[in-house]
Every structure is written in structure tokens, then in C-alpha cells.
Structure 1
Amino acid sequence: MKKIVLFLVASFLLGGALYAQVDTSVAAAVVAANPPKPKKKKYDLSKRANDHFLLQLGYTNWASLPDSIKTGNLPRSINAYFMLDFPFKSNQKLSAAIGLGIGSDHMTLDKNLNFANVKATGTRLPFNDTARFDVKKTKLSTAYLEAPVELRFVSDPEHSDRSFKVALGVKLGTMIKAATRSRVLQSGGDYVLKESSKRYFNTTRVVGTARIGVGHFTLFGTYQFTKLLKDGAGPEIKPYTIGLSFGGL
């Protein structure tokens, strides 16, 4: 009888050990086949600076410019925007930003044949209107209230003021003012003629944007998808700009 009891106890203990070994092996195989996913790093973004204020200075030119229009000096673009930045929860290196600000382009038309008469009454903007004045040069300036939108990437979200960054976006704008400032020659001495009118201009503009750089400074480029002038009001001019951005706050 004792032998039978000892045999049963030994069988029970051996079976339990074998079951535990098999169960452990199965559990190890399951874990190996389905390793736990590493936790994503959480960044402290409470004190970061991520281009909430943007100041841009760039060189501007006109695409599709006809040979009859000559530009001179250094045409430029000056822009300033305040933007709010919203990091993605799934990936804090990515964020979306939206803002509001002013964008302005300043194009110099050189020599007498390039006086832009924004006060004309015809259907097309005269770029060669020299009947009224003897003009040395004219600066044509346009200003827009703009709402930029960007998709941003920064390599170190906690220290974006000294890390690599890229941004792609679009700007939607409405024209505030279009004006010319001309140097007029006359026998009694030169004088400055200032005129303003939005008559010939497309008052809505859509611009594609891109930025790349490190820290507070980025190179930027823009291309205007909409035409500068209204349909039938003149050449199908589309401005583009390259320059330097400073981002702060």
C-alpha cells in the first residue's frame, strides 16, 4: 500500500514539474513571438520655442514676365506672422501651425518704359504709360493680410531653438493695398509721385511655402499659385520668393 501511495505522489510531483516546464516554454515562445512594444518618448513641451513669431526677408521675382517689362534694383518681400503651434499626440516631432500676419512685395520697375499706371481707367494695367510723366523708376508695392498654415517637423521637440526643422504649407491672403511710388523728372526738379489702386489686381492670393533650417534661422521659398493681376488686366504674372526666416518665441 505504501508503495502505491509513494508511486502516486511521485507521479503527481513529476507531472506537475513537467507541466510547469511546458507552460513556461509556451509562455516564453508567446513572448518571443509578440515582444512588448517600446514606449514612445514623452517630451516636455511646456517651455519650448517653436517659431510662434516669424519674420521673413526675401528676394522676389515674377514668373512669366514679358520682355517688355524690365525690373531693377533689388525686389524684395517682407513678411511678419504670429502663429500657434499644435503638436501631434501620436508623434510630438510633428505639429500643425496656423497664424495671421502681413505679407508685402516690393518690385522696382526700371527706366522710363516701365511706369505702371495703377490709376488708369482702361481694362489693362499699362506698364509702358509714359505719356503723363518722364519717369526715372517706379516701385510697385503690394500688401496682404495673410493666414499661413504649416505642417512642421522638428528633430528635437524640447529644444527646437537649436535643432533641425522642416515646414511645408500654404498662405491664404487678401490684398490690403497696391501702390506705386515713382521718381518723376521735370525741368524744375525731380519729385515723388505716389498712387494707389487695387483696380487691376487679384485681391485674393494663394501661395505655397517651404522652410528648412536649424534653430531660429531657416531658408524659405514661396510660389504664388494665383495670378498677380486679374484675368485680362495684364500679363499672367506669378511672384515667387527665396529668402531667410527668423523664428522666435
Structure 2
Amino acid sequence: MRKLAAITIFTVLLIPAFGQDTTPNTTTKKTGRPDIPGTFTLELGVNSASGSPSTFDIGFWGSRSLNVYYQYEMRILKSKFSFVPGIGFSFERFKFKNKYTLDYNGSSLIMVSPQTAGRTNTKKSQLITNYIEVPLEICFRTNPEDPARSFKASIGGRVGYMFDSFSKIKYKEDGEMKKLKDKQDFNLQKFRYGVSAKIGVGNFSLFGYYNLTDLFQKDKGILENSQVKNFNTVTVGISLSSF
């Protein structure tokens, strides 16, 4: 995930350089948007869980998202509005402050403490979910002819499919630091959809995303106090786009 983020950031920063005219003694100077079909969008956000059980206690900074999208903006006639479909990946993680881990008690999904799991020296516990997604937006720009300097606002949604999920635990045993990766679906929803919004200037925006589907499958969420609890997730952060 770190390598992909670094490559994506480098690509986003490098793309505008290829659009510059470096020919000496040029009589005309290129301005505005380089002739690149579509844009690459990088989003960095923090996750929170709405209505989650007390044992699903996630940290603010450790629970984060990285979204990488390719989007193609299609202007609606000559208006200031455009339709923006896309495709890409969303990489999410939830870091548990209490260092609990997901496990099964029979057919029920539960959160297990480090003491119960036999790993009292647990240093970090996370749940990771990875999706392929299709974002769809309606975007308004004050100056569509110069998007790099235009104020913009958009609303839309995303549809995603989870292609990978696992828990990751870092703990110390016999003086040695160890990592344990448990690759399961943990009753997580395979398909999800939600609503999103952005506001910003040029290639920088603030974004918010609310997942309309529960994180876990219906009636298969986390068991706590003899009750199965399902809940949604929310992500807020910053968005950077290349032109």
C-alpha cells in the first residue's frame, strides 16, 4: 500500500511536467490543461465507524483510506456542469485502539481481547479491506475553460467490490517482534455503495464519503452482549487530481 501510494503521488506530480512545452524559441506559449485524456485522482482520508459496538474501537489516525482513481470528465453541453465517471481502487484500514482482533465464536463474529487471544504483548491490530470501485460524480466549475484555477463542487456516489480482506496483528513474543496476517472475509460485505461530495479549487479538494451499506453482512455483524451489531463507515479527507 505504501509503495502504491508513493508511485501514485510521483505519477500525479510528474504528469503536468509532460504537458509543458520545452521547445526553445517557441512563439506561442501553452496555457491551461495539457492534452491528457482524463485525470488521475489520489484521495487520502481517515475512517470512522457510525454506531459500532464498543469493542470495535478504532483510532483516528491509524484508521485511514487511500483511493486511487482514473476519471474522465464529460462537460454537459456548454454549461458549467459535467459528468465524471471513473474506475480505481480503495484501500481501507481500521486500527483498533484496544488492540482487539476479529474472530469467530462458533458461527458468530466477535472481537477478542489480546489476553483472550493469548497475545498480551500485542502492539498493533488492524482490519484491512481493499475494493475495486466505480466513482460517479456531477461536478460544477465556475470556469470550465480553466479547471486548474476554478472553484469546484461535486456530488455523486461510488459502487465497489471487495476483492481482498484480512486482519494484521503485530506482537512481541520471546523478545522477538512478530506479525500475524489472517486472510478471511470476516462476514464483510462484498459489494458496497455510498454517497460522496467534494469541494475545492483547482486540483485540490476536501471530500467526504458515507457508506450506505453496512460494513458486515446482514445479521452477521459483531456479536456483543448477545446482540449482533451492524454499522456503517464514514471517510473524510483530501483529494488531489492531475490535469
Relative to the length of structure 1, the TM-score reads 0.74
Task: Confirm or deny that 1:248 pairs with 2:242.
Answer: yes
Task: Confirm or deny that 1:132 pairs with 2:117.
Answer: yes
Output aligned runs, 1:89-238, within 5 Å.
89=77, 91-112=78-99, 114-117=100-103, 120=104, 122-128=106-112, 130=114, 131-134=116-119, 135-234=122-221, 235-238=229-232
Structure 1 window deviating more from structure 2 (179-188 vs 233-242): it is 179-188
Q: Higher helix share goes to which structure?
A: 1
Q: Higher strand share goes to which structure?
A: 2
Distance in 2 between residues matched to 1:233 and 1:239, nearest whole Å: 16
Distance in 1 between residues matched to 2:238 and 2:59, nearest whole Å: 21
Instruction: Note closer, same or farther for the CA distance 1:245–1:80 as it changes in structure 2 (3 Å cut).
Output: same
Matched position secondary structure for 2:145: helix
Aligned to 1:22: none
Instruction: Note closer, same or farther for the CA distance 1:170–1:154 as it changes in structure 2 (3 Å cut).
Output: same
Distance in 1 between residues matched to 2:41 and 2:210, nearest whole Å: 18
Contact 1:50 1:160 survives alignment (8 Å): no
Structure 1 window deviating more from structure 2 (149-158 vs 227-236): it is 227-236
Identity of aligned residues (%): 27
| Alignment partner of 1:88 out of 68, 76, 101 | 76
What displacement does 1:105 show? Answer: 1.2
Instruction: Note closer, same or farther for the CA distance 1:185–1:196 as it changes in structure 2 (3 Å cut).
Output: same
Q: Greater Rg, structure 1 or structure 2?
A: 1
Contact 1:133 1:185 survives alignment (8 Å): no
Distance in 2 between residues matched to 1:84 and 1:148, nearest whole Å: 11
Task: Confirm or deny that 1:56 pairs with 2:43.
Answer: yes
Contact 2:158 2:193 survives alignment (8 Å): yes
Aligned to 2:18: none
- The one-character-per-residue Cα deviations of 1:145-185 (angstroms, maximum 9, x if unpaired) are 00000001111011011110011000000001111110133
What displacement does 1:122 show? Answer: 3.3
What displacement does 1:142 show? Answer: 0.5
Matched position secondary structure for 2:41: strand
Contact 2:142 2:151 survives alignment (8 Å): yes
Output aligned runs, 1:24-35, within 5 Å.
none
> RMSD of the alignment, in Å?
2.2
What displacement does 1:110 show? Answer: 2.4
Relative to the length of structure 2, the TM-score reads 0.76
Distance in 1 between residues matched to 2:180 and 2:186, nearest whole Å: 18
Unaligned runs of 5+ in 2: 1-31, 222-228
| Alignment partner of 1:68 out of 34, 55, 69 | 55
Instruction: Note closer, same or farther for the CA distance 1:231–1:143 as it changes in structure 2 (3 Å cut).
Output: same
What displacement does 1:123 show? Answer: 2.6
What displacement does 1:125 show? Answer: 2.1
Distance in 2 between residues matched to 1:218 and 1:201, nearest whole Å: 30
Aligned to 2:13: none
Aligned to 1:13: none
Contact 2:102 2:186 survives alignment (8 Å): no
